[in-house]
Amino acid sequence: MDDQEGATHNEIMLAACRNDQDDLLKEMLNSDDVDYNFVDGIGDGALHYAAKYGSLSCLELLVTLKAIDLNMRDRIDQDTPLHKAVQYKEDYDIAIAMVDQLLEAGADPRIENKAKMTPPMMVDPKDEDMKELFDQAMAAYEVDDSDIADDEYPEDIDDDQLSE
């Protein structure tokens, strides 16, 4: 890594995410001294970089890491990677794929940033596809114990009383 002399593996990881260099990211993720949740001076981590710069291949790698914080907030706007993905405007297909990947991995769409905005609040009202992704994710959070069927029988009913 002569061309990267002086940069730490954590810094190289962020640069790889900024430039959608998934091979370099894989190399850094396999380093013993890399911190998946390392942040730069303004609090952006690898997932923030991937979402901010549309680095879908890097984001897809990062969301598979058990130790990564999917809901990490940056220091300036308190944005999560999901906020950054919604704000990505260069390529709609990449933006919606990033949002989908983050939601599938378990990113929380209910987190507010400094402006008191959740990622779903930031979606263009005309964007039916992205709104649908968030509607599905939000519905999963609204399910509580009372919505789950109780498959156990009352104690005073014997099995032979039940229809087959």
Phi and psi, residue 39, nearest 5°: -125, 155
Residues 6 or more apart in contact with residue 67 via CB below 8 angstroms: 36, 37
Q: pTM of the prediction?
A: 0.82
In a domain, 89, yes or no: yes
In a domain, 159, yes or no: no
Q: What is the mean pLDDT of residues 38-67?
A: 97
In a domain, 71, yes or no: yes
In a domain, 148, yes or no: no
* pLDDT given for residue 151 in this prediction: 54
The domain in which residue 107 lies consists of: 2-143
* pLDDT given for residue 18 in this prediction: 97
How many distinct structural domains can be found in the chain? 1
The domain that holds 9 is classified in CATH as 1.25.40.20
At 9-35, the pLDDT tens digits run: 999 999 999 999 999 999 999 999 999
Amino acid at 102: L
Residues 6 or more apart in contact with residue 111 via CB below 8 angstroms: 71, 73, 80, 82, 83, 118, 119
Q: What is the mean pLDDT of residues 68-94?
A: 97
In a domain, 88, yes or no: yes
In a domain, 69, yes or no: yes
In a domain, 152, yes or no: no
**Residue at token pair 């378990």:** 106
* Residue 2, pLDDT above cutoff 50: no
